[in-house]
Structure 1
Amino acid sequence: MVTVTLVATRPPLAVFSRGYFRLLAEVFGDAMDVVTVLHEGTPVAAVMNFHFREEVLPYYGGGTLAARRLAANDVMYWEVMRRAGSERGARLFDFGRSKQGTGAFEFKQHWGFAPQPLHYAYQLGAGASLPEHNPANPKYRLMIAAWRRMPLPLAKLLGPPIVRGLG
């Protein structure tokens, strides 16, 4: 039998530096929280959430390989919604953007969320074209495949400088 325990804990680690997460916690204070799912005392999934008015936005999240088998992400998002609603009075859950045809998009539809198109306006310089910084862009396919096979210590070392260049 699998036991999943929910606790509030420090922000999850990702390709971003610990200092970045510390700064977010400092700046957002009580408007931010972290939900972590533990399995037998070990974190398997976590998400950092931001709260504004009656809305919660789970923003930085991730899980281990075991998270999928344990349905930890389902438990995690359920707990985010439960806490946001019962403890903070939230009425809106913003699951964020996802490209159609991706696993993230399908996961959100599984929860019953209906997609809503987002409209953007761009101001480009003369001769410039819209950047296509997204995982569906074929020019990133090799880089994404290499990243997925990269040893974790190397990914942690290279992640922060790469992420800074994407914004």
Structure 2
Amino acid sequence: MTIKIITGKLINQERWDTYILTAPNASPYHLYGWGVAVENAYGFTCYRFAAIKEDEIVGVLAIINMRSLRGKKLLSALPYCDIGGIIADNKDVYSVLQTHLLNFAENLGIAELEIRNSESEVKDLKKVTSGEKVRMFLDLPSSEEALMEQFKSKLRSQIRKAEKNGLRYEVVMGSAIKTQELESFYEIIAKNMKALGSPVHSKQWYKEVISQYGSHAYMAIVYSENVVVGAGLVLTLGNKASIPWASTLNEYNRLAPNMLLYWAVLAQATKQGISTFDFGRSTVGEGTFNFKKQWGCLPIKLQWQSFRNGEALIELPSKSSPSRDKLASAWRCLPLPVANFLGPILRRYISL
């Protein structure tokens, strides 16, 4: 077995994605296009490792050479998403790729390294504890009718409430998303990121993701009359889908746009033959976790690995701290135009 380390566009994208499409533990973020989007939007370098045995790919890893807010060099697999670590046919290949990566980081003189993995089995809700970081997964049936039927009556009534309130939705495939639809999506995301106390990504980042993913993406948009009040972007991989970004306008929450938005993305997923839907990262016991739980989601624990000078660290993903909480509070106080200007400048250096 040999390990090939290739930068830029020298590796065959089709061959990479073909392997990812058949790998059981892969996610949409493992597709070749995620690294390209990072390079094009933020100017960082993506290194791609491929383990080759008898001319067949048996494992891959894409990793981004970036800098943190403090200016330190960092290798991240992968930034801006929940999971992007090593994909391998077996534990031996995984071990070889990880060892090769640690040596690669040492040769580059980069001390900080992070690999974002998660457990492969869904855990019972009773077996996760408050404060843990998890991904939330929902198994989907083969039709919209069966999907609606599997929800509890309270959830079904909340979806119908949104429709009775005059809300409607549209679904647009990635290659057909128009400039104005992206603008509306970005306005909502930017407004809510400020409310959360977090810098927003650049608009170019979202453009690049949509451009790179094309048929592997779709956007659901919720309208109140002709006003966009909610939108979510979904990325797909075979029979799996993930929703990294979704948001609604707070001033319309009384109309339940978030319920219609998630119904829209799930209904579209069933139409596309998606059987596993990833609602994304949550903290057990917090509001987003409880929102996702009501849809019937089960958690998978995140297992992010951090290394410093080749030594593994014990660290929870996106662990909160008093200083981070203070910065978030200060960010919420900024005028929206200022936050939207400064946000993308800072966000590129935040790997979360």
Q: Same fold (TM over 0.5)?
A: yes
What does residue range 1-167 of structure 1 map to in structure 2 within 5 Å?
2-7=165-170, 8=172, 10-11=181-182, 12-13=185-186, 14=190, 15-86=200-271, 88-125=272-309, 134=318, 136-167=320-351
Could you tell me how far apart the structure 1 residues matched to 2:332 and 2:324 are? 12
Structure 2 runs not aligned, ≥5 long: 1-163, 191-199
Stretch moving more, 10-19 or 45-54: 10-19
TM-score by length of 2: 0.44
Deviation at 1:145, TM superposition (A): 1.2
Q: Counting strand residues as a fraction of each chain, which structure ranks higher?
A: 2
Cα shift readout 1:33-89 (whole Å, capped 9, x = no counterpart): 111111121111111110111011111122211242221111111110101111x11
Larger radius of gyration: 2
Query: SS of the counterpart of 2:349?
Result: helix
Deviation at 1:95, TM superposition (A): 0.7
1:105 partner letter: F
Stretch moving more, 141-150 or 38-47: 141-150
Stretch moving more, 154-163 or 136-145: 136-145
Deviation at 1:147, TM superposition (A): 1.8
Could you tell me how far apart the structure 2 residues matched to 1:59 and 1:67 are? 22
Identical residues among aligned pairs (%): 27
Q: Which has the higher contact order (CA 8 A, sep 6+)?
A: 2
The equivalent of 2:12 in structure 1 is: none
Q: 1:72 to 1:6 in 2, by over 3 A?
A: same
2:277 partner letter: F
The equivalent of 2:103 in structure 1 is: none
